[in-house]
Structure formats: C-alpha cells, structure tokens
Amino acid sequence: AHGSAETTPGPHDVEYLTTISIGTPPQNLSINIDTGSSDLWVFSAETTSSEVKGQTVYDPSLSSTAAQLQGATWQISYGDGSSSGGDVYLDRVALGGLTVAAQAVECARNVSGEFTADGSSDGLMGLGFGVINMVKPVRQKTFFENLQAGLDEAVFTADLKHGMPGRYNFGYVDSSAYTGDITYVPINSTDGYWGWTSPGYAVGSGAFKDEAIVGIADTGTTLLLLPSDIVADYYRQVDGAKYERNQGGYVFGCDVALPDFAFGVGHTAGGSPAMIKIPGKYVNYAPVGGSSTKCYGGIQSNDFIGASIFGDLALKAAFVVFDGGNMRIGWASK
Ligand SMILES: C[C@H]1CC[C@H](NC(=O)Cn2ccnc2)CC1
C-alpha cells in the first residue's frame, strides 16, 4: 500500500497542516505532522472548553469504531515550552488514502496556551520513534509504525515548500518530486528522533567548511537551529545583521540581501558531500513583532538544546526520505 497527502503552510511557513480523518463516520481534523515527537494527539470533546479557540475537536462518543484504551493517559511537553495531556482512544485513522484500523488517538483534556492560540492546528501527529511515545502505562505506536509492514516500501517522504502546499507520501519515493540523486545517511534513533550528522556547510558562494553538524530532522520545528559559531558565520555576511537578546536571536533589515545557506549530506571519502542549498530569501523568516522593517532570521542558534534541528526551513529546500525500513534518511534537491 501507499498514500499521499497534501500539506499546507501556515503564515511565514511557521508550520504545515495536513488533514486526517478519525473515526466512523470520519471526523476531519487539520494536524501538524511532527517528526520530532511520537504522539498523535488531538483537541477533543474532552478538552477544557476555555482552552479551545476555533479548533475542530474529535469526539469519540460520535464514532462507532472508537474504544477507550482503559487506564491509559498521556502528558507531553515540547522544546518550545508548549504542552498537552489527556486520555486515549483507539480508532480508525486515515491519511492520504491509508488507514490504520486501531490507532492510538490521544485526546487532550488540557493544552497549553500556545496550542489554544494556534487556531489552525487541531493536534499533532508524531512520526518520530515509538520509544518516546508518552502514553502510560503502555507506550503506543505511531501512525507510520502501525502502517509500516503494509507499505510497499517502509518509508515516508516530506516535500515541504516555501509559501505553497507540499506533500507527505507514505510507502513510496516519488521520483518526479526531486532532481539529481537522493543521498542517504544512517540515522540514530536512540533518543526517538530522526538523528543524523551533516558533514558541514557553506555560506553563499563560500568554500565548504568541514564542521560536523549533529542534529535531527524535525518537521515540527519551524526554523533551522545550528551551532552558534556557524550561525555567527552566516550573519557576518548579512549587512547590519545583529544578535538582539530581547528578540531572542539574529535580526536584520527586512530588505537586506541574504546569502544562500547550504548544508552537506554524506561524505564520500575524499570527495565532496552532496549539498542542499537553502535560498537566501527563505532565511527571512518574518518581521519581528511591532516592526515592519526589522526581520527575524530563519537560521538561529541551537545553544540551549545541544543538538541541531533541521526544521522546516531546511526541509523545504529538499525532498526528504524518512526510511524506517533501512534506518536511514535521504536528502535530494528539487
Ligand atoms: C529550542 C527549540 C525550540 C523549538 C522546539 N521545537 C518544538 O517544540 C517543536 N514543536 C512540537 C510541537 N510544538 C512545537 C525544539 C527546541
């Protein structure tokens, strides 16, 4: 089996939203597919009403195929400080023409303010590894893990785009969606993430710099978060760019010229790595609050996290294969 679903960017490509249907008859929700976590949770009929502002909720009592997972609860918090928690139902979940008959659907009883304020997202679908699923007492499998054995190929692909809809495909690699070759590198899923190491980077037309970047491919993070020395190297090439503590990162004039940023994939012994080039204009993330002339950079420091995060800013410059069958990740230009 294989399937394909369109995914649509929010403002400034802050997140990408994909429609899933849950239950019988189907209840359609718009969710954020997040390779940086492993819980499928949704706003629900059980969510504290003051914490629901415009989201569509899943109501298991209206689904003939819903069954509560007795005694199961979950609580999750994300790197950006947001959080949610609740109880668990098993129900049919369909996405892109593929269905899991008994998917653990984590129903929120409470969500933090960030989720309440985001009227576009009705929940998250974690496509990380089940080892970090937060359901207790028994961890639950992700949608992809439940699908995997039945897929033609044990893969899903992310084809996110700048300011326009892209696609998540499951079970196949669409050879018409990218240019050149896909370069695959091993992943380290020990921490439950799609962890991988880039051999280095280049700023604009500059030389390749051999500096290993250990990170995760995370569709649930908006920006590209890298070691502070690389980030400083990039913004040295942006006229007037500076680090502003009260903005929480590097800012620059919204009309400034921005160099491309390229990161390496793979490292043929002695040869040069394949490069994924992020166009400079993608690095202009958005005007900072209250200004129309000062803009916030899409490349920022990973200082307080310890690993780098190849978020949407990096992913939307590539066609990315999350290969669960061979525990590897593949990157191609497009
Ligand atoms: C410091 C970084 C900040 C951004 C963090 N990303 C997330 O929290 C992604 N996410 C998932 C659900 N809601 C948000 C990763 C750490």
Give DSSP secondary structure letters for 187-249. Answer: -B-TTSS-EEEEEEEEETTPPPEEEEEEEEE-TT--SEEE-HHHHHHHHTTSTT-EEEGGGTE
Which strand ranges, in their side-by-side order, compose the sheet holding 274-278?
A: 274-278, 261-265, 195-203, 209-217, 308-310, 224-226, 299-301
**Whether residue 34 lies in the annotated active site:** yes
pLDDT at res. 259: 98
**Low-confidence residues of the chain, pLDDT below 70?**
none
pLDDT at res. 61: 98
pLDDT at res. 306: 80
Residue with CA closest to ligand 1 atom 15: 79
Q: Is 91 in the pocket of ligand 1 (CB under 6 A)?
A: no
33-48 pLDDT, tens digit per residue, is 999 999 999 999 999 9
Catalytic residue among 13, 34, 87, 323: 34
Nearest-angstrom CA–CA distance, 150 and 227: 39
> Of all atoms in ligand 1, which is nearest to the CA of residue 305?
1
> Of all atoms in ligand 1, which is nearest to the CA of residue 80?
8
64 alpha carbon to ligand 1 midpoint, in Å?
A: 35
Report ipTM (2 d.p.).
0.93
- In this prediction the pTM is 0.98
Residue with CA closest to ligand 1 atom 5: 79
Closest CA to 103 of 55, 48, 151, 38: 38
Q: Is 309 in the pocket of ligand 1 (CB under 6 A)?
A: yes
220-267 pLDDT, tens digit per residue, is 999 999 999 999 999 999 999 999 999 999 999 999 999 999 999 998
pLDDT at res. 146: 98
Closest CA to 319 of 157, 82, 172, 78: 157
**Whether residue 308 lies in the annotated active site:** no
> Of all atoms in ligand 1, which is nearest to the CA of residue 309?
15
Catalytic residue among 38, 121, 198, 308: 198
Closest CA to 183 of 165, 166, 197, 164: 197
Integer angstrom CA distances of residue 306 from 35, 188, 309, 331: 18, 15, 10, 23
